[in-house]
A and B are shown apart, each in its own frame.
Chain A
């Protein structure tokens, strides 16, 4: 046994900050969201640490997706949707008038429930973002970004020989990884995932979960999921939403073994009335 390596591994685990202690990448303060007169989110304050996965769980209509969509201003696109409160990234309020939502969305990437590749080649699906954001200097640079993004998304080996094939020719799970690669290609700091596996089979789901686990080393990840088992598997922190409130936010281990709130307990054990 190489003892030197063993020591290094132990050191790694010691210096890795615990999820709760890591610096927040996003700091949400008193978020309220209204659809017309109806209030969907009631005064939610929470932070999202860097290099950790935070899962948002809760019954349908609890506001978890609405809240997730605040984080890259996707709610701007919905008419008569109003967001109040501060969402700070690097000390800047992302809702400020001088923040360009397009640039913001390159810093805060998003993956949706249904894989939605562009009707373009696999290569162009990835290259599109870096091109419009001017991240590549010439073809070689762009090739490198495409390869790196596909590698990080765990898709490179499967598609490297058919980069010109349409993105839609891939299987559902591959398409979802293509969408993740597309999000990664523009060098985001945060990746939002809204039910990324609900349209996938268990094997494709496992691949995505494995990928989330790897991406956690680089990004702040926020995932909305209906599968509590998935939240338990992939996240370090879990927030339970109910009726537009955060009922409980805590270490994933604690939330699923010993929740403090009765409503959380009822939900995770399948007792919700």
Chain B
């Protein structure tokens, strides 16, 4: 898209979009590092991940201030308006994602010695499609691609299936040895957090689609196998 006649306006929009990408980047590495910390039982890394969350909160607050100022001073129209509204929504989705990643890192520090490698691996396995989903939706945002956004939106089902299988797997470990219940409860929450992150990615995909196309992805079309 060509530049605005008022170049400062274009710069402000670019800055906003850069903030979103920065939040996305930090959130993505938080998920990756939180699960790495879990996998390697690296408590230092887990602590460090928790400390990154306030940074994401601060960027969100800053993005919101920019958005208020843009609306008040520029009275955005058309694609600019949709971009700004999407940025507002996407930044709060990313803030939630960072929160959930932080929560995984917190729980990784509270596991006792009864947790086994299979349990850790189940979460790590599930984290891969989730961080891929976040990576894909951030790519869709960066390249303003409605097709990529739609692809993300359609593939959330995969994560839901992962979640259900992790849930069942976890239950078998708990049934085998009730001493694992404390750690297992934490890990079920981790799985749930990852599943929620997947949902937030789907929401982001909807906002990217709206920003680019100006229409809403209809909830009706979305493939959904599991009714739980």
A and B: bona fide binding partners: yes
Q: Are A270 and B4 in contact (CB under 8 A)?
A: yes
Residues of B near A37 (CB, < 8 A) are none
Q: Are B5 and A268 in contact (CB under 8 A)?
A: no
**Nearest-CB distance from A136 to chain B (Å)?**
45
How far apart sit A98 and B195, CA to CA, in the bound complex (Å)?
A: 75
- Give the tally of cross-chain contacts (CB within 8 A): 40
Question: Which of A268, A272, A273 is in CB contact (< 8 Å) with B78?
Answer: A268
Residues of B near A268 (CB, < 8 A) are 77-78
* Tally of A interface residues using CB under 8 Å: 16
B82 within 8 A of A: yes
A265 within 8 A of B: yes
Q: Are A270 and B6 in contact (CB under 8 A)?
A: yes
A13 within 8 A of B: no
Given pairs A229-B75, A257-B81, 8 additional interface contacts (CB within 8 A)? A228-B77, A256-B81, A257-B214, A258-B82, A258-B214, A269-B79, A271-B3, A273-B2
**Nearest-CB distance from A264 to chain B (Å)?**
8
What is the interface residue range for chain B against chain A?
Answer: 10 to 19
How far apart sit A268 and B5, CA to CA, in the bound complex (Å)?
A: 11
Residues of A near B78 (CB, < 8 A) are 256-259, 264-265, 268-269
- List which B77-113 residues lie within 8 A (CB) of chain A: 77-82
- 5 chain-A/chain-B pairs, Cβ below 8 angstroms: A258-B78, A258-B215, A266-B2, A269-B78, A271-B4
A163 within 8 A of B: no
**Nearest-CB distance from A229 to chain B (Å)?**
6
- List which B129-147 residues lie within 8 A (CB) of chain A: none
How far apart sit A232 and B77, CA to CA, in the bound complex (Å)?
A: 10
Residues of A near B175 (CB, < 8 A) are none
